Amino acid sequence: TQQLLSSPAPRARPFRVCNWDRSLRKGIMAESLADLLGKIQSTLLLVGTVAVVLDEDGTTVETEEFFQTLEDGTVLMALGKGQTWASAKTPGYQL
Amino acid sequence: TQQLLSSPAPRARPFRVCNWDRSLRKGIMAESLADLLGKIQSTLLLVGTVAVVLDEDGTTVETEEFFQTLEDGTVLMALGKGQTWASAKTPGYQL
């Protein structure tokens, strides 16, 4: 598979990645979304990761394009199959 | 109908797009309103999207000119036929 990048080779950038219940949070360097997904599996032992979302509001990060717009240090949540994002700011509040 | 822009080619910008009940929220890159509407159909699987509104207050985004004034990262809601915007439920919600 080929990766189309018009810009220079991306540098690895720091992200903070937590799991679905925020019991784990680790600093991970990644230069692309694909790279991050691979490292999440080895670092958070989350096999078969299906989604990475912004911890802030649950926005799903699906494309490399959108991933590249994230600031260094962005807090992301890794979700495995069946896991869903819930807001951290309204504990006890359920929709 | 075609839209001609006299300014330089627009760059794709990041937006956060949710569906009518906010059960889905995805990061989508778009360089124009037309581009965004197309990507919403493929990303949110929302066929026949009729409107994009500001999640914040339900303001309908109908023109390319207004769309271009939105800041990167603006949260938008995609509405299909018969779907309407409603305020987020959390009282005192603030960004």
Residue type, B2: Q
At B17 the pLDDT is 96
Indicate the average pLDDT of chain B.
87
Q: Which of A60, A61, A90, A94 to probe the B interface (max B CBs under 10 A)?
A: A60
Cα B52 to Cα B36: distance, rounded to the nearest angstrom: 9
Phi, then psi, of A44 in degrees rounded to 5: -95, 5
* The predicted structure's pLDDT at residue B52: 96
Tell whether the model's pLDDT for residue B16 goes beyond 90: yes
pLDDT > 90: percent of chain A: 66
- Cβ–Cβ under 8 Å, residues B75 and B55: yes
- Calculate mean pLDDT across residues B3-27: 84
Q: What is the pLDDT of residues A19-62, one digit of tens each?
A: 999 999 999 999 999 999 999 998 887 888 779 999 999 999 99
Candidate from A60, A66, A90 with C-beta closest to B14? A66
Contacts of B24 in chain A (CB under 8 A): 60
- pLDDT tens across B45-80, in order? 788 877 999 999 999 999 999 999 999 999 999 999
User: For position A47, what pLDDT does the model report?
Assistant: 81
CA–CA dist A56, A59 (Å, integer): 8
pLDDT band (50, 70, 90) for residue B91? low
- A71 touches B: beta carbon within 8 Å: no
Q: What is the C-alpha separation between B32 and B14, in angstroms, rounded?
A: 11
Residues B30 and A69: beta-carbon distance below 8 Å: no
Which one of 2.60.120.920, 3.40.47.10, 3.10.20.10, 2.60.40.10 gives the CATH number of domain B13-79?
3.10.20.10
